[in-house]
Amino acid sequence: MTTELRPALPATAVRAWRSPWLSFAARRLGRFAVSLWVLVTASFLMIHLVPGDPVRAALGMNAPASVVEARRSLLGLDDPLPVQYWHYLRGLVHGDLGVSVSSNEPVSSVIGQRLPATAQLAVLAFLLVLLVAVPVGVTMAVATRGGRRRGAELGFAVTAVVLAAIPEFLLAVALVYVFAVNLHWFPVAGQQGPLSFVLPVVALAVGPAAVLARIVRVELLAVLGQDFVRTARAKRLRARRIYLRHALPNAVTATLTLAGLMLTSMVAGTILVENVFAWPGLGAKIVSSILAKDYPMVQGIVLVYGVGVLLVNLVVDVLLGLLDPRSTIREA
């Protein structure tokens, strides 16, 4: 009786297979794939969970029955549910999100026209949050470390809490009334050049900047009390180098996690802010589509928002793994 000997795997292949980074990537991609499938399935079922006939609701009660049946056939709602799901998945692979009930336009083309305006608002607001929150948080941490300047600490905390508690749409209305209607410094509504970005971006950024500044301060204070910072001071290193090169990078993990969550919330916050400023983005479109009961359009926009949130979370997880490899090894 002979036994067949299988060739052993090379040592480099074994080490690569057992690599914590490979396990980390597999876990994150697996979570992303499952979350994406749940999102796609939920967006597909959205139109089927609406009470009554969604096509009749969109076209109105006075629409002829022949028009309603033709639109149902165009949307594929007469097919069995598994067939509809298969056609929906196949359409997504080819970039086909369906046809608008109210305008007969392809949903993907409408989203392609309006997505850049929403992305511009969200990205500019996020950059403004980082440019304001990180310097303010670092300055307050340095100024109030060791229990110093209690008055400044209390004033900062109260101001941050108040600003974070103001809803974006309410702040947007106040900004329009003061700076557009009364002072005439900025356009009231619409996308009319660079000045039209100022008020909606500020309305989106004020609350998150206040929250992130508090987190930066708390995390940096915790780092400033650690032994390696005291060692750096004992070596008489410059204060700027201690704070920016040694302390701040060690406080960035929690800050980055919260910043990623804020970016996703900003994308959702654009819905109300865009309606206040009549901004030609996805937020204004989804509200008008909900009012018009244009369910295929709502379905497509919700899917785009959800995919954006999943991608932001995936990027944040990867950045955290790169900045703090120890957490990646522990998880693996």
Residue 174 sits in the same domain as residue 254: yes
- For residue 267, is it within any domain? yes
- For residue 127, is it within any domain? yes
Residue 248 sits in the same domain as residue 120: yes
CA distance 87 to 74: 12
CA distance 25 to 325: 13
Q: Which residues pair with 218 in a beta bridge?
A: none
Tokens of 134: 């990180």
The single-letter code of the amino acid at 143 is: A
Q: How many CA atoms lie within 13 A of 146 on its CB side?
A: 4
Residue 125 sits in the same domain as residue 269: yes
How is 143-160 classified by DSSP, letter by letter?
A: HHGGG--HHHHHHHHHHH
User: Residue 185: what pLDDT?
Assistant: 87
- Look at 55-64, 133-142, 291-300 and tell me which has the smallest mean pLDDT: 55-64
Q: What is the per-residue pLDDT across 44-56, written as a single tens digit (0 to 9) for each?
A: 887 777 666 667 6
CA distance 328 to 216: 23
- For residue 296, is it within any domain? yes
The whole-number average pLDDT for the span 93-120 is: 84
Tokens of 173: 């209305």
Q: Is the pLDDT of residue 259 over 80?
A: no
Q: For the chain, state the CA radius of gyration.
A: 26
Q: Is the pLDDT of residue 1 over 80?
A: no
User: Residue 19: what pLDDT?
Assistant: 64
Residue 186 sits in the same domain as residue 123: yes
- In the block, tokens 């929690």 appear at 254
The single-letter code of the amino acid at 198 is: V
Residue 272 sits in the same domain as residue 201: yes
User: Residue 18: what pLDDT?
Assistant: 59
Q: Which residues pair with 99 in a beta bridge?
A: 106
The single-letter code of the amino acid at 12 is: T
Report the CATH number that the domain containing residue 291 is assigned in CATH.
1.10.3720.10
- For residue 8, is it within any domain? no
Residue 157 sits in the same domain as residue 303: yes
Residue 132 sits in the same domain as residue 63: no
Q: Is the pLDDT of residue 311 over 50?
A: yes
Which range, 143-147, 273-277, 288-292, 318-322, has the best average confidence (pLDDT)?
Answer: 273-277
Share of the chain above pLDDT 70, in %: 77
Q: Give 4 or 114, the one with higher predicted confidence.
A: 114
8 Å CB contact between 163 and 207: yes
User: Residue 9: what pLDDT?
Assistant: 47
Number of structural domains the chain divides into: 2
Q: What is the mean pLDDT of the chain?
A: 78
Residue 82 sits in the same domain as residue 129: no
Tokens of 253: 């993990």
Q: Which of 200, 208, 165 is nearest to 270 (CA)?
A: 200
Residue 188 sits in the same domain as residue 64: no
The whole-number average pLDDT for the span 284-306 is: 84
User: Residue 324: what pLDDT?
Assistant: 63
- For residue 28, is it within any domain? no
- For residue 207, is it within any domain? yes
Q: Is the pLDDT of residue 4 over 60?
A: no
pTM: 0.77
Using CA atoms of 284, 290, 291, 294 in order, give the dihedral in degrees to the nearest 10.
110
User: Residue 271: what pLDDT?
Assistant: 83
Tokens of 185: 């410094």
Q: What is the DSSP letter of 63?
A: S
Q: What is the per-residue pLDDT across 213-234, written as a single tens digit (0 to 9) for each?
A: 888 888 877 777 766 666 766 7
Q: Which of 209, 196, 164, 212 is nearest to 274 (CA)?
A: 196
Residue 71 sits in the same domain as residue 151: no
Range of the domain at 78: 36-94
Q: Which of 307, 287, 263 is nearest to 279 (CA)?
A: 287
Q: Write down which residue in 45, 60, 94 finishes a domain.
A: 94
Residue 162 pLDDT class (50, 70, 90 cuts) = confident
User: Residue 29: what pLDDT?
Assistant: 84
User: Residue 13: what pLDDT?
Assistant: 47
The whole-number average pLDDT for the span 280-292 is: 83
The whole-number average pLDDT for the span 172-199 is: 86
Residue 325 sits in the same domain as residue 215: yes
The single-letter code of the amino acid at 95 is: G
User: Residue 14: what pLDDT?
Assistant: 47
8 Å CB contact between 259 and 130: yes
Q: Which residues pair with 106 in a beta bridge?
A: 99
- For residue 235, is it within any domain? yes
- For residue 302, is it within any domain? yes
Residue 291 sits in the same domain as residue 213: yes
